[in-house]
Amino acid sequence: MIDNFSALDLHISIASEKLFTLGGISVTNAMVTGVLGLVLTLGVLIYVAIMLRTKRYNRFVGLVQWVFEGLLKSVNDIIPDQVLARKIAPLSITIFFFVLFNYWLSVIPGLDSITYHGVPVIRSLTADLNFTLAIALITMVTAQIYAIKYLTALGNASRYFRNPIKDPIGSFEGILELVGEVSRGSALALRLFGNAFAGEVLLIVIALLSSYLASVVLPFFMAFELFIGFIQAYVFFALSLIFTSLAVTPHEDSNPDHSPTAKHIRSVAK
Amino acid sequence: MTAIFTSFASSAPSQTNLFDALGIDWKTLILQIIAFLILVWLLGKYVYPWLVKSVDDRQANIEAVNKAAQEARASALQTEAQVEKLLAKARIEASDIMATAKLESESVINNAEEKAKKRSDQIVADAQIEIQKEVVAAKTALHNETVELVAMATEKIIGSKMSPKLDESIIKETLEKVK
């Protein structure tokens, strides 16, 4: 068994691999697949928009419209301010569709077998930390921009920096909040990367282990990956909204006597 | 067993920097951020408005249909109430008409009965007068006939024609005897 494993030529790389260089920029396999994902995302959404514009409907248009409507409803449910909800919707919905299509590209056949100079050509963009970090950064920066817009720069800064002499607990909370912002962003990036990367590794390992039975066994794992892709896209979408919602919500006074719970208890006691 | 580790170790990046080991390249990262922002702008500007419009239109349609259904329901309830009211009014009117008709029919019947009674009384009275007249006429005719018969009988008995004066006296006498 162990000899069999050792005989398998597993090609696993955490980082996406360079295929060629274009204008001083290394073009990786994830970027190539990402371009495919970009074309797919744009193609699907533009096709649906054109069909809706010309009032021509079919099942596929209905499905995408239904998903879009559900996402828009989620945006409206999570973000209390309707104006902000409509502003943030394009970013979060694009995250959902782009992540979904790119994640699903990891199940296309030839994941590890199609190579260029020994480097696999197909690698999902979501399994590239550059991409997941990029959209996590965009999400966190967008949340901060809206927080400054809604709470003012000073109001937003007061969430993290408070006078330790006047409010020692609050100042500690502020530091925790600051650490929380960093950890939220990195968790957002690493969660998606981890799932996508693990999914790809799983498919490669299953394909190698099942050998001639791969065509029978793999579809089950591919279907599972499609499901996980949907879940991950929705999780990223929802978390980006929740972080924005949290960022624009004014912080509560750290004094326990002034907290809403304390106020509620006092009102009930009266 | 060692081959697996060797295989994994060979695939592990040789770079010592954590970012390099994870494959984070700042140039690629910035490029992907810009590319993604362009995608968001492109979709937000040219694609999503149509999708949002379709969703809003659909929502508006649903709301309009709901509103129409509610209005129709309210209208139906109102109409039902009006129908009930009209039915109640019609019932009252019908019962009034029935009562009036009953009274009128009773009156007509009473009048007809009264008229018929009067008419029948009149017919009976007229008939009685007529009978009386006929009785008188019959009596007169009988009297005259009797007188003639008596005269004829008397002539036969006496054998001669009697004068009117004689006839009369004899007849009277006979009649008195007969009485």
What pLDDT does residue B17 have? 76
Mean pLDDT, chain B, whole residue set: 84
In a domain, B3, yes or no: no
Using CB atoms, which residue from B22, B40, B43 is nearest to A129? B22
Q: CA-to-CA distance for B114 and B118, rounded, in angstroms?
A: 6
Contact between B32 and A131 using a beta-carbon 8 Å cutoff: yes
Domain that holds residue B64: 19-178
Measured between beta carbons, the chain A residues lying within 8 angstroms of B57 are none
How close B2 comes to chain A (CA, Å)?
8
Q: Is residue B5 part of a domain?
A: no
Return the bridge partners of A18, or none.
A28
**Quick check: A147 and A248 in contact, CB under 8 A?**
yes
Contact B11 A10 (CB under 8 A): yes
B35 and chain A: CB distance < 8 Å anywhere? yes
Q: What is the pLDDT of residues B92-118, one digit of tens each?
A: 999 999 999 999 999 999 999 999 999
Q: For testing the chain A interface, which of B4, B38, B55, B62 should be mutated: the one with the most A CBs within 10 Å?
A: B55
pLDDT of residue B25: 82
pTM score, whole prediction: 0.69
Confirm whether B6 is domain-assigned. no
* Closest A-chain CA to B50: A49
pLDDT digits (tens, 9 = 90+) for B7-40: 444 444 455 677 777 778 888 889 889 999 999 9
Decide if B55 and A65 are in contact by the 8 Å CB cutoff: yes
From the list B86, B68, B55, B64, the residue with the least C-alpha distance to A48 is B55
For A69, A100, A225, A239, the CA distances from A229, given in Å and listed in that order, are 19, 6, 6, 15
pLDDT of residue A97: 95
The DSSP bridge partners found for residue A20 are A27
Q: Determine the pLDDT at residue A92.
A: 93
Asked if A131's CB is within 8 angstroms of B40's CB, the reply is no
pLDDT surpassing 70 at residue B2: no
pLDDT classification of B162: cutoffs 50, 70, 90: low
Q: What is the pLDDT of residue B59?
A: 86
Which whole-number Å values give the CA distances from B38 to A34, A241, B49, in the listed order? 14, 20, 16
For residues B48 and A65, is the Cβ–Cβ distance under 8 A? no
Amino acid, res. A194: G
Examine residue B144 and state whether it is found in any structural domain, yes or no.
Answer: yes
Domain boundary assignment for chain A: 8-256
Of B4, B24, B8, nearest to A11 by C-alpha is B8
- Residue B136 within a domain: yes
Per-residue pLDDT of chain A (270 residues; tens, 9 = 90+): 444 444 456 777 888 888 888 877 788 888 888 999 999 999 999 999 999 989 888 999 999 999 999 999 999 999 888 888 988 999 999 999 999 999 998 888 776 678 888 788 888 889 889 999 999 999 999 999 999 998 888 888 888 888 888 888 888 888 998 899 999 999 999 999 999 999 888 888 888 888 888 888 888 999 999 999 999 999 999 999 999 998 888 766 545 454 444 444 444 444
Give bridge partners of residue B33 from the DSSP assignment. Answer: none
Q: Is the dihedral of CA A238, A144, A253, A267 positive or negative?
A: negative
Which residues of B, range 101-160, sit inside 8 Å of A by Cβ? none
Span B144-151, mean pLDDT?
Answer: 85
Q: What is the ipTM of this complex?
A: 0.83
Q: Does B28 touch chain A (CB under 8 A)?
A: yes
- Best residue of A2, A4, A32, A45 to probe chain B, by most B CBs closer than 10 Å: A45
Name which of A72, A76, A130, A139 to mutate to probe chain B: the one with the most chain B Cβ atoms within 10 A of its Cβ: A130
Q: Does residue B2 lie in a domain region?
A: no
pLDDT tens per residue across span A145-162:
999 998 888 888 888 888
CB-CB under 8 Å, A42 with B43: yes
What's the confidence (pLDDT) of residue B130? Answer: 93
Specify the pLDDT at position B93: 94
Query: How many folded domains does chain B comprise?
Result: 1
pLDDT, position A259: 44
**A161: Cα within 13 Å, side-chain hemisphere:** 5
